[in-house]
Structure 1
Amino acid sequence: MKWFEIALVVLTLGSGLVWLLDKLFLAKRRAARASLLDSEPVIIEYSRAFFPVLAVVLILRSFIAEPYKIPSSSMMPNLLIGDFILVNKFAYGLRLPITNTKFVPVGEPKRGDVVVFKPPHAPDENWIKRVVGLPGDRIGFHGDTLYINGEPMKYEVKGEYVGKGRGAEMTGATLLSEALPGRTHTVLELIGRSNAAGQGDWVVPAGQYFVMGDNRDNSEDSRFWTQTHFLPEQNLRGKAFLIWLNCEGWFCKGSFDPSRIGTGIQ
């Protein structure tokens, strides 16, 4: 939510500025003319109290880890609707809040990473997908098979998937393991019901990535983006690494799965 990020930055800077001005100038003036009438203004009292808290939250959220909630089924079976996740904000470089401008390069996404990003056609939203194509890769998707640089990925049937809660609609889908180079993870497919619009071949440009959802027949990912099929590096928000809660409704009414607490994201 960009409005929250903007509000957090504005409140932090505003309260910090008021606190600094009071520390350097205003407190000395009050002390020089001290009297019963010269009580500390409320805005200074609140700024001094809230600035440290706001600053810590801003630093943690911008440079360490940020929470997100999974709103859709596009990353099932690995991420479920209602999962609350933590995103590593320094894995791909430190970025300024609001503008997302990288100012300290740290690392780059690896194939198989689950990433949070701002899609090029919806820059005010945060989406989550898996990186399958790196800069320079030739990506193909035909039938139910992903191809990387001309090589088909290997699949192993794990059984029939049984969905939970709002993801129950995927019950009956085939649960598969997909062996990306250096990384194996699970995907869902409705075998024999491939979407023709998601078929094709793409070459990933420099500085961009090709991303897909693990729920292959229910994911609006790079295969379907019309203006560009690729995710620019500057749109990355971070790497998803941990599920810390699963709760579909407000105040966890309706669905709560304690077994997912503390689950790492593969």
Structure 2
Amino acid sequence: MDFALIMFVLLLVSGSISLLDRYSLANSRAAGVAEPWWVEYAKSFFPVILIVFCIRSFLAEPFKIPSGSMIPTLQVGDFILVNKFTYGIRLPIINQKIVQLNNPARGDVMVFHYPENPSIDYIKRVVGLPGDVVEYRDKHLSINGVEQVQVADGDYNYVESGLNFVHTERRDETLGERRHALLVNPSMPNVHLNSVAEFKGHENCTYSESTVRCTVPAGNYFMMGDNRDNSRDSRYWGFVPDNQIVGRAFLVWMNFSDLKRIGSPI
């Protein structure tokens, strides 16, 4: 069950018991009789649950990075904070936007509900905005016919799942006003064609062994992982609609395996 829904149910139960005790049960108890344990617990936990629920729903929510698709920007085991209001205020549970603030910008690292299974949260980088023509050819990204500048930055090696040693090339890329690092493996294809799903808006994309080209539909975004050849992203499952956005990642607040990453901006 979704954690936000669990918190909401606990909030309703504890709040209802607190109100019931204040306006009914307390008046019927004899003087000097202690509150039932379930009333005492509900009244004690209600303000705590309310504060946590409001912070997670409207301000910031923690997430843990489970995979290497965003290396080198994010490492496996990073605990990150996600700004919940930067793209607008949304009602919790149903994720309905009620106040429009900013739109996602090209280069943002964004958390969203995975289109193939909305109960799972994914994190990738915003590459294509609504109306953009995104082309990924020979490890280089072009937006609306303009190739995004990449600068070689040496080799980058990491261990995958604690077993496999992976050798890649590190490059710096600029998307919009955001400069970030990415990894590519020149020996791997730009996309594994047999892994491409039949997603909504598939007709907006064309595929070949060397090129992926997509026109981003209105109200949608094209996402890619920084670990370009170890990321299942919009090349495979399509576009992220606005109503599945969770928020923008902005800070690493903990990594128990590498304490030096604490406080790293994203």
**Scaled by the length of structure 2, what TM-score is found?**
0.89
Matched AA of 2:249 = A
Match of 1:16 in 2: 15
Which of 91, 94, 98 in structure 1 is aligned with 2:93?
98
The answer on 1:74 being equivalent to 2:66 is no
Alignment of 1:1-266 (within 5 A): 2-30=1-29, 34-35=30-31, 38-163=33-158, 166=161, 169=164, 171-196=166-191, 197=193, 199-225=211-237, 229-247=238-256, 256-265=257-266
Cα distance in 2 between the residues matched to 1:71 and 1:81:
6
Match of 1:251 in 2: none
Query: Could you say what secondary structure the match of 1:128 adopts?
Result: strand
Match of 2:200 in 1: none
RMSD: 1.7
Query: Could you say what secondary structure the match of 1:21 adopts?
Result: helix
1:62-82 C-alpha deviation (Å, 9 max, x unpaired) = 111111000001000110111
Query: Could you say what secondary structure the match of 2:235 adopts?
Result: coil
Q: CA deviation at 1:119?
A: 1.6
- Of 99-108 and 129-138, more deviation after overlay is shown by 99-108
**Scaled by the length of structure 1, what TM-score is found?**
0.89
Q: Say whether the 8 Å CA contact 1:160–1:171 is kept in structure 2.
A: no
Gaps of 5+ in 1: 248-255
Q: Say whether the 8 Å CA contact 2:80–2:254 is kept in structure 1.
A: yes
Query: Could you say what secondary structure the match of 1:217 adopts?
Result: helix
1:27-61 C-alpha deviation (Å, 9 max, x unpaired) = 2232xxx245x431222111110001111110111
Q: CA deviation at 1:200?
A: 1.6
**Count of residues paired in the alignment:** 249
Matched AA of 2:255 = N
Cα distance in 1 between the residues matched to 2:20 and 2:103:
41
Q: CA deviation at 1:222?
A: 0.4
Q: CA deviation at 1:167?
A: 7.0
Cα distance change of structure 1 residues 148 and 168 upon mapping to structure 2, 3 Å threshold: farther
Q: Say whether the 8 Å CA contact 1:81–1:166 is kept in structure 2.
A: no
Cα distance in 2 between the residues matched to 1:103 and 1:40:
40
Gaps of 5+ in 2: 194-206
Cα distance in 2 between the residues matched to 1:246 and 1:221:
24
Matched AA of 1:206 = A
Match of 1:250 in 2: none
Q: CA deviation at 1:166?
A: 4.0
Q: CA deviation at 1:169?
A: 4.2
Q: Say whether the 8 Å CA contact 2:157–2:165 is kept in structure 1.
A: yes
Q: Say whether the 8 Å CA contact 2:59–2:85 is kept in structure 1.
A: yes
1:68-103 C-alpha deviation (Å, 9 max, x unpaired) = 000001000110111110001111112222211112
Cα distance change of structure 1 residues 244 and 170 upon mapping to structure 2, 3 Å threshold: farther
Q: CA deviation at 1:24?
A: 2.0
Query: Could you say what secondary structure the match of 1:26 adopts?
Result: helix
Query: Could you say what secondary structure the match of 2:226 adopts?
Result: coil
Cα distance change of structure 1 residues 167 and 161 upon mapping to structure 2, 3 Å threshold: farther
1:159-201 C-alpha deviation (Å, 9 max, x unpaired) = 0003267478464200000121222111000024223437321
Moved over 6 A (4+): none
